[in-house]
Structure 1
Amino acid sequence: MATLAVEHHPLAQSVSFDTDSLIVELVDGRTISVPLTWFPSLSKATESELTDWEILSDGEGIHWPQLDEDLSVNGILVGNHGRR
């Protein structure tokens, strides 16, 4: 029987949004979708601010320069919420 190997260091390759969610596509083919309400600075951001993002450290994190917001992909996967 084959065993599925789970990536222990997930890496982001792209970011998108819908009206309620942050959507992160990983280099291994998975897609993560979490509520924007988990991240107050993102949920209050304009479309222009949301779409101005950068991949950090070869995909380990995401940075929004206009918002001074950084999220780790691993943190999103384990359910860490943004600042309260």
Structure 2
Amino acid sequence: MNSLAFETDDMRPVRAWCLDGEVHVALADGRAIATPIWWYPFLSELDDKALNDIELMYEGIWWTAIDEGISVKSMFLGIKAPGAKAPEKAA
């Protein structure tokens, strides 16, 4: 699937927020997607206020405070940022 076929106006983010260890994105077509925050190590140092200071872009979302972002496509495809490591599970 090429990029043009995947990214459509219906998949445009209309709202984004971080809650309970997840990044959530609501799409123009009514769907929503969530991925674990740990997938994006660059978000690890942000507090709740900074995590939710998100700029919407046509293909994804952006945190201006750290000049980093993620695409809706990468969320759907399960692509983690480099260095992503699942947290250790408590025994």
Do they superpose with TM above 0.5?
yes
Q: Which runs of 5+ in 2 are unaligned?
A: 84-91
Q: Which runs of 5+ in 1 are unaligned?
A: 1-6
Percent identical residues: 30
Give matches, 1:1-84, under 5 Å: 8-9=6-7, 10-56=11-57, 59-84=58-83
- What is the TM-score of this pair, normalised by structure 1? 0.79
Per-residue CA deviation, residues 25-78 of structure 1 (Å, 9 max, x unaligned), is 01111110111110112233111211211112xx31211010111111111111
Q: What is the number of residues matched between the two proteins?
A: 76
Q: Distance in 2 between matches of 1:14 and 1:42?
A: 18
- What is the TM-score of this pair, normalised by structure 2? 0.74
Which 4+ stretches in 1 moved above 3 angstroms? none
Secondary structure at the residue paired with 2:23? strand
Secondary structure at the residue paired with 1:34? strand
